Amino acid sequence: MIYLDNAATTRTAPEAVEAMLPYFTESYGNAGGIYRLGTESKKAIIQAKETIAQTLGAQPNEIYFTAGGTESDNWALKAVYEAYADRGKHIITSAIEHHAVLNVCEYLERQGARITYLDVDKDGLVDIGQLEKAVCPDTILISIMYANNEIGTIQPVKEIGGIADRHGILFHTDAVQAYGQLPIDVKECHIDLLSASGHKFNGPKGVGFLYIDQKVKLRSYMHGGQQERGRRAGTENVPGIVGMEAAVKRAYRIMEEKTAKEIQLRDYLIGRILHEIPGTRLNGHSVKRLPGNVNISFESIEGESALIMLDMKGICASGGSACTTGALDPSHVLLALGQPPELARGAIRMTLSEENTQEEMDIVVRELKGIVEKIRRCRSL
């Protein structure tokens, strides 16, 4: 099997699994308990917050554990809208956000919010000038993703944060694809809220975090016990948190080497496909791009058929985001780049990890050539 869907999820690192195990079997105490079994769990949670805070240039009490990226995005947007309602009801986001942001925005619109969806250019970059113009006296929040999950484009986050800061507006970034892959400094980039998810950087599924700057005053999101400083109630997922912490340590330890290897494989794969298969186009920015992201549109191809044929060859790829796979609608991200729907339907996303090899890339190119030729031949009959 050749696994090329690391933007959908990653393999849990063995060291993350190993770190989790004792918290199922021996150290299973509720972190709220006053006995040693409980304080062991509590210590593990505090330690994990310290580890994560350090990677971001944040304070441990600014890290809140959640059940993943979707919850972090929901929390950030809904809680800011509620807490800052007296200041205004305007939120600025982009047209290419993940559905965990876009569908929350739609929900908030039904609650009375006014949302501006910024366009992106042909590479998927937001226009800083357009952002500046979109700011109104009643704007309370800018929510723009750090890096896109479909096309890998990395946004000018520091400039966006600078604008938010100058206007006294909060800045949330969905960094689910970026955290653990790229270095991030929340203070330097004026990020007030940041979403991340364990399973996107070789941690376990169902655990993530939301960074909330101390100055941001949000009310409780989950009502119940006093966990997470009373803001997110519920017994903590101690094994998940510990596993994610181990994955964070690993990600930062190998980041430089992993990035270099993925960029080399990425550019090799992109180069071969664009040169050797006619009617192909790279989606997303060629340089301001996640190290492992390859997204290519093939003319006169149904992406779905190609994915099924790739699967029969043991190659796991995707047509865009996993959430839209199975749907025949072309990706909202590719449409926002100005791509015609027929071409957008022929997009294939391959997201690499440091475990992939050049030999695998050669197999993928060979199989893709055969599959694309076959589909095109059948369509022209």
Ligand X SMILES: *Cc1c(COP(=O)(O)O)cnc(C)c1O
With 0-12 / 13-18 / 19 or more C-beta atoms within 10 angstroms meaning exposed / middle / buried, residue 264 is middle
Encode burial over 327-355: b for 16+ CB neighbours within 10 A, e otherwise: eeebbbbbebbebeeebbbbbbbbbbbbe
Residues in the site for ligand X, rule: CB under 6 A? 68-70, 73, 98, 100, 145, 149, 174, 176-177, 197, 200, 208
CB of 321 to ligand X, least distance (A): 7
What does the DSSP assignment read for 47-94? HHHHHHHHHHT--GGGEEEESSHHHHHHHHHHHHHHHTTTT--EEEEE
Q: Which residue is nearest to ligand X (CB)?
A: 69
The smaller minimum CB distance to ligand X, of residues 164 and 194, is found at 194
Backbone angles phi, psi at 227, to 5 degrees: -65, 160
Instruction: State both tokens at 362.
Output: 């050669």
CB of 223 to ligand X, least distance (A): 21
What is the residue whose two structure tokens read 């970034």? 173
The smaller minimum CB distance to ligand X, of residues 100 and 126, is found at 100
The smaller minimum CB distance to ligand X, of residues 41 and 70, is found at 70
The smaller minimum CB distance to ligand X, of residues 197 and 237, is found at 197
CB of 202 to ligand X, least distance (A): 13
CB 123 within 8 A of CB 285: yes
The smaller minimum CB distance to ligand X, of residues 197 and 227, is found at 197
Residue 197 carries which DSSP code?
E
How far is the C-alpha of 92 from the C-alpha of 139, rounded, in Å? 7
Cα 165 to the chain's mean position, in Å?
Answer: 23
The smaller minimum CB distance to ligand X, of residues 98 and 258, is found at 98
CB of 133 to ligand X, least distance (A): 26
Using alpha carbons only, how large is the chain's radius of gyration in Å? 21
The smaller minimum CB distance to ligand X, of residues 5 and 367, is found at 5
CB of 251 to ligand X, least distance (A): 15
How far is the C-alpha of 258 from the C-alpha of 156, rounded, in Å? 22
SS3 208: strand
List active site positions. Answer: 323
Please name the residues in contact with 229: beta carbons below 8 A apart, sequence gap of 6 or more.
Answer: 61, 64
CB of 375 to ligand X, least distance (A): 28
CB of 70 to ligand X, least distance (A): 3
What does the DSSP assignment read for 294-355? EEEEETT--HHHHHHHHHHTTEE-BSS-GGGTT--SPPHHHHHTT--HHHHTTEEEEE--TT
